[in-house]
Structure 1
Amino acid sequence: MIRRTALALALCATACAPEDLPADENSAEALRQVEQAAEPLDKPTERNAIRFLDQATFGPRLARAVSPRPIDSVEQVVAVGISKSITAQLSAARSTFDGTNDSKDLGSQFFVNAITGPDQLRQRVAFALSQIFVVSPSGIANIASTPESEPKVAMAGFLNLLSTNAFGNFRTLLEAVTKDPAMGNYLDMVNNRAFDTAGKAKEPNENYAREMLQLFTLGLHKLNEDGTPQLTAEGLPIPAYTEAQVQAFSRALSGWTFAAAAGCPTIGRTNPANYTQPMIGCDANHLSTSQTLLRGAVTTAGGGAAAHLKQALDNVFADPNLPPFISSSSSSTSSPATRAPPTF
């Protein structure tokens, strides 16, 4: 999960396998036939180059008479091989989203980037991540007193965050997503206070903690390394976490609000909306008591919002369920049959 090419290669894994597999694709014999029939990565046929590009880009294309050949063209992949094509894609200039008023709507920008952008592999990985880390402009108020469209700014920033981190460390990506104001608005991470204005303690909102565990990292049930569910002696799936652990994570992640020049507000209060910068942790609104997380790990008693967020994300990142769950999630979302445009 920490290799920067891991998710990129997962998206491309099926590109070099033969199409005429036996019915039982999980059998040892089927795997042996795949190994024997797979072509060398440095000398793909045109057919296999097309199949590779179908997995690694938004669709194969021909260079025709264009010189130099585009790095994502069929002719170029045949000429240099799949490994070098991946290397070229990792270094390609990153396509970005513009949230200013003068730019096109984000849906149009997405399709222009998908068709013309040189960083096809990065875009495909970011697209797969957008299907896992789902956000929406719903609930983001377009403040009349500001010249920009807050929903557009927020969504452009989030999409740029995904593409920036597409080839990076998953732990880094998880923290960036957790602190992102668009995600904070969508799943109630922002302004999730542990105290009211009178200083009286209250239970933080569990929305982000629950979705982070269920959708972004672990899934509902414990998995084996190959992604199959772990079962009890009675044949029932084993929960990946408990309700008490959801509550513990919600407390550990409390106290975050929008960034502001003045810093943190007083107890029980929040900062005005700001979708241009990551959220900030405010200890005055954070529950500092120790919480028991996954696998018996506990947060530091008396710790602040930033310290507890780090401990919580480190804990879930180290869970053995994360690699098989995210790998299977990225594999399913990269399939052409499951593609859906992002919600803008």
Structure 2
Amino acid sequence: MKNFILCVTALLCFRVSYAQTNKTFGKGNIKGVTVNASSNASNGIKTLMSTGYMPNSKASSRFLSQATLGPKLSEIQGLQNQGIEAWLDQQFAMSPSFNLQNYVQNMHQSMVDSLTARNPTGNYTLSNVFIDDWAFDVAWFQANMVAADRLRWRVSLALSQIFVTSRISAFDDNPYALASYYDMLNKNAFGNYRSLIDSITYHPAMAVYLTYMNNHATDTLAISASNPTKKQVFPDENYAREILQLFSIGLFELNNNGTEKKDANGKSIPTYDNDDIGNLAKVFTGLSWSHSRYLGDNNNVTKWSYTKPLKFFPRDSSDKYIRWWANPTSWRIVNGHEPGTKTFLNQTVPSRPVTDGKLDIKDALDIIFNHPNVGPFMARRLIQHLVSSNPTPEFVDRIATVFNNNGAGVRGDLKAVIRAILLDPEARDCCAEKENVAYGHLREPFLRYMNLVNGLELRNQSGTYRNVMVDLYDRIEQKPLYSPSVFNFYQPGYVPDGPLQAAGKVGPEFQMLNSLSFANYMNGLHKWIISNDPVEYWGIFSGEVYKPDQDPNFNISADYVLAKDNRIREFLDKYNLILAQGRIKPENMSIIQNVLLNMPMTYDVNGVPDATLADRRLRMGIFLIMIAPDYLINK
């Protein structure tokens, strides 16, 4: 061990102890190094980490591109003065600021009120006036235009693509189901993973989507000569399979750094088998709608049935509602919840009375929660969504360690996990891209759209933003809670052809990229930017008067002065910073600049650019930035 004194300024000295004879300081290289500040401060080590310094404009934009749905110039400038850790503290201290379910219901009530005003004898109510699932999209977009808890909404979007439920093939266009589920994600985004999977398990949207609503115990009625056609019915296994494969532990046993464990023959070790699934499926039995009178009672399911946690039924019928089986002289009550022990993942949920079946669910979720795979599994998934598709094993290991113990003995603390991801040297190191060609990720289409909305600071006069996002989905095939399957819009292990495949790396978002999807994206950009038509405004009831103050567009008139030939690079630098975090290469910037300089431009006698020509030139500049390869790959 060697020691030396490192004097940074005349007023601040550090004693650095290191375990190697050669050490590169900075860029997060702190292994084997301790730093004690002369003031006896405990965080002297931050002097060797990027988190120890106030971010410059590019570092601010880069951080916000990971922590929000797209930075605004004012946020970039504010973060330079506030600092990343202070910003995180502020964001984590905020409670959920927008309730989607309430907003949907208020829209619904306005439909009822408007219809009643036009026809007072119509007897319109929330129950008999239909509202479509686009109301959820309007609410979601409104929230993201006004909510201050920007980190929460970024994390919730990631969670919605991990714990997938989707309106495709489910919910009958019910916006309350979607709003309630997303509100639940927002509530749990900075909470504990154990509480999150509990809330997900008891949410009707998940129960309907993964088909364990009214899931009942094994029907063991024997086949006999008097009942030859009777078939045994086993608990539905859909949720049991997906909670293991997609929501918690994955297919193979993992080391803490996310790499797969191998057996003596060098083969990956499965985490579970069909017997595990079958036994776990027995746990998730006896759950139904909150208003049900008995298991299997699907009467009177309303829009609001999706907004309350599931109700547990140990039996599938009451004395009043008895299920009839095969023989009109034979009546019986069948268990709603599976009795007996349930063994999975080499652990056993004990046998107990079916009336205590909710304890079975609790025990099963505890077993899943405490499985050693959960830390590295969730660490990798969240890093992939927020920072990079191919985090190093060291990065995964650091985050999984925080998941396992937040420093205060708490397992599953998502707030600590998110903080650790965003502050990790691998996330904050601006030079990582130069050392790792697979660093970063392809921006998924919906994030590009929100990046544009935030970067150009979409505004209208009213502060109400009614974007149904129907045309948006048709163009980019992505919006919240509209995944084509439980496997999300793209799979975390997807490997595209080309250099990533050759390097043994993954590129999840590339699963959505092809010549047609990119052409559709460019056509969308033309509509949003060039034609200045960034949202799709619909009336919420027949005959509603158009409200132009609720139909926003991009006003870039303040930038017209930058359309001059001698200032166009200044304009491009500004939006390179906001949209692309300053990553557009000089040669690509020169190409874009030359395109713009070849567009017609005239000036008045005072040298002021013509507004129409300036507007066209600047919008084309933004368009070209957002199709540049350097923009599309966020590093």
Residue 234 (structure 1) shift: 2.0
| Matching residue of 1:21 | none
Structure 1 counterpart of 2:309, from 278, 283, 294? 278
How much identity, in percent, do the aligned residues show? Answer: 31
Indicate yes or no: 2:442 matched with 1:337: yes
**SS of the residue aligned with 1:127?**
helix
| CA deviation string 1:31-90 (max 9, x = no partner) | 974337742345222221111111111112122xxxxxxxxx112211121111001111
Q: 1:257 touches 1:279 (CA, 8 Å); kept in 2? A: yes
Alignment of 1:275-314 (within 5 A): 275-284=306-315, 285-303=336-354, 304-314=356-366
Report 1:59-208 matches (<5 A): 59-63=70-74, 73-94=75-96, 95-97=98-100, 98-100=103-105, 102=107, 105-140=135-170, 142=172, 151-194=174-217, 202-208=233-239
Rounded to whole Å, the distance in 1 between the matches of 2:270 and 2:220 is 37
Residue deviations 1:147-173 (CA, integer Å, cap 9, x gap): xx6x21101000000001100010000
- Taking the aligned partners of 1:322 and 1:227, their CA distance within structure 2 comes to 10
* Distance in 2 of aligned mates of 1:32 and 1:231: 35
| 1-structure distance, mates of 2:306, 2:135 | 17
State TM-score, norm by structure 2.
Answer: 0.44
Judge conservation of contact 2:171–2:205 (CA < 8 Å) in 1: no
Distance (Å, rounded) in 2 between the aligned partners of 1:113 and 1:31: 43
SS at match of 2:307: coil
What runs of 5+ residues in structure 1 fail to find an aligned partner? 1-28, 64-72, 143-148
Matched, 1:328 2:391: no
Deviations 1:186-221 (A, max 9, x none): 001211111569899731000000000000001111
Q: Distance in 1 between matches of 2:285 and 2:59?
A: 50
SS for the counterpart of 2:247 is helix
Gaps of 5+ in 2: 1-22, 31-47, 109-133, 223-229, 316-335, 388-440, 447-478, 483-635
For normalisation by structure 1, the TM-score amounts to 0.78
- Please say if residues 204 and 310 of structure 2, whose CA atoms lie closer than 8 Å, have aligned partners that are also in contact: yes
Choose the corresponding residue for 1:34, options 28, 51, 55.
28
Listed one character per residue, the Cα deviations across residues 277-306 of structure 1 (whole Å, up to 9, x for unaligned) are: 011111110002111122333333435321
**1:33, 1:43 → 2: CA distance?**
14
Task: Select the structure with the greater relative contact order (CA < 8 A; seq sep ≥ 6).
Answer: 1
Q: How many residues align?
A: 296
CA distance in 1, matches of 2:298, 2:287: 10
Greater C-alpha Rg: 2
Shift of 1:227: 0.5
Alpha-carbon distance in structure 1 between the residues aligned to 2:350 and 2:298: 26
Work out whether residues 220 and 241 of structure 1, in 8 Å CA contact, stay in contact via their aligned partners in 2: yes
Q: Partner amino acid for 2:264?
A: A
Q: 1:86 to 1:93 in 2, by over 3 A?
A: same
Counterpart for residue 284 of structure 2: 253
Give the 3 Å change call, closer, same or farther, for CA 93–290 of structure 1 in structure 2: closer
Contact 2:347/2:367 (CA < 8 Å) preserved in 1? no
SS at match of 1:292: strand
Quote the residue 1:10 is aligned against: none
The 3 A distance-change label for structure 1 pair 280 and 55 is: same
Query: Where does 1:192-231 land on structure 2 (aligned, <5 Å)?
Result: 192-194=215-217, 202-231=233-262
* In 1, Cα distance between equivalents of 2:220 and 2:368: 31
**Displacement of 1:177 after TM fit?**
0.3
Supply the AA of the counterpart residue of 2:90.
A
Report if the CA contact (8 A) 2:177-2:307 is conserved. Answer: yes
- How many angstroms does 1:91 deviate by? 2.4
CA distance in 1, matches of 2:275, 2:25: 42
- 8 Å CA contact 2:342–2:350 kept in 1: the answer is yes
Q: Name the structure 2 match of 1:12.
A: none
Mean CA deviation greater in 35-44 or 46-55: 35-44
Q: 2:353 & 2:443 partners in 1: Cα distance? A: 45
Of 167-176 and 333-342, deviating more is 333-342
Residue 290 of structure 1 aligns with an amino acid whose one-letter code is T
Match of 1:45 in 2: 56
RMSD (Å), alpha carbons: 2.7
Could you say if the C-alpha distance between residues 174 and 193 of structure 1 is closer, same or farther in structure 2, counting changes exceeding 3 Å?
same
CA spacing shift, 1:105–1:141, aligned 2, 3 Å: closer
- 1:106 to partner: Cα distance: 2.1
SS of equivalent to 2:442: helix
The answer to which of 130-139 and 166-175 deviates more is 130-139
Q: Find the residue that maps to 1:297 and give its secondary structure.
A: strand
Q: What is the CA–CA distance in structure 2 between the aligned matches of 1:154 and 1:220, rounded to whole Å?
A: 30
Query: By how many angstroms is 1:333 displaced?
Result: 2.3
Aligned letter for 1:194? A
- Contact in 2 for aligned 1:138/1:186 (Cα 8 Å): no
Q: Mark the CA change 1:343 to 1:307 in structure 2 (over 3 Å): closer, same or farther.
A: same
Matched residue, 2:294? 265
